[in-house]
Amino acid sequence: MIELTSVLIIMLLFVFPLPVLAISLGLFTTWSLYRKSEAFNNQPSEGKKNLILSLVLFLVNIICSIILGVTLAFGIYYFIFDNFYLLIFNFLFCSAISLRWFDFTHNLYRHFIFKLKPFKTDAFAQSYFVVCQGFRERDHGGFGLAPVYTDAGTLALENNKVVFHGVFRKETFSPSNIIHVEKKSSEKITILSKQSNFTNADMFLITLKDKFYPFKSRPDRDKIFKQLMEQSQTA
């Protein structure tokens, strides 16, 4: 069923490119705005500033990606090949690649987070600047997981545990509470964890925010993943 739907979407994209792009963009924008609104409503009051900051800088990233996409697309249009449809394709392609692989605001985000709360880390522990998002099952069912909170801070690798120190939240992942660990992408790890408080999150998405190129976070992600897996196997 999924394969058939994908083939139909691709065929429609070739037959009616502009309407399909417009509808897809509208649906994606609506879904994204709904998820952002839900995350903001569920965010604890002490973490509202943190979430607003991340949303503002995400918009700045989008604007920077669009500017880069426009620049590259018009460069190809004027200096290589002047085709309107190729111009549109290059703009969309370059903007999407830029948004995925370039993080223009990672240093600015780190600067503001450390102004909200200066972090002290153990000199003998490896630490990374990360964003931690908590999710849990929806109370009355529904599609996907419900967001619980979004926080940013340091993730420290200690002897027998991994500790996240955020602006307003602290999470400890140890052999006693880790159920499953999975690599999500070059800079993301998901952790399924047992929590004593039923209102707390039970699934965590850890995103490394130390690099301009997110894919260069892969070695750091692997170190974190290795330690979490060792703890999971110990449990």
Domain ranges, ordered by start, for the chain: 2-108, 120-234
More confident position, 197 or 129: 129
Residues in the chain: 235
Which 8-state DSSP code applies to residue 197? S
Choose the weakest-confidence range: 103-107, 109-113, 159-163. 159-163
H or E stretch covering 72 = helix 48-79
Bridge-based pairing of strands 126-136 and 203-208 is antiparallel
Percent of the chain with pLDDT over 90: 33
Looking at the predicted structure, is the pLDDT value of residue 101 above 80? Answer: yes
CA distance 18 to 64: 24
Q: Region 51-65: what's the mean pLDDT?
A: 91
123 pLDDT more than 70:
no
- Whether the predicted pLDDT of 194 surpasses 60: yes
> Quick one: pLDDT at residue 159?
79
120-234 folds as PH-domain like (2.30.29)
Of all residues in the chain, the percent with pLDDT exceeding 70 is 83
Span of 3-12, 123-132, 142-151 with lowest mean pLDDT: 3-12
pLDDT of residue 124: 47
Task: Select the more confidently predicted residue: 131 or 84.
Answer: 131
Q: Is the pLDDT assigned to residue 20 strictly greater than 70? A: no
53 vs 139, more confident: 53
pLDDT band at 81 (very low <50, low <70, confident <90, very high): confident
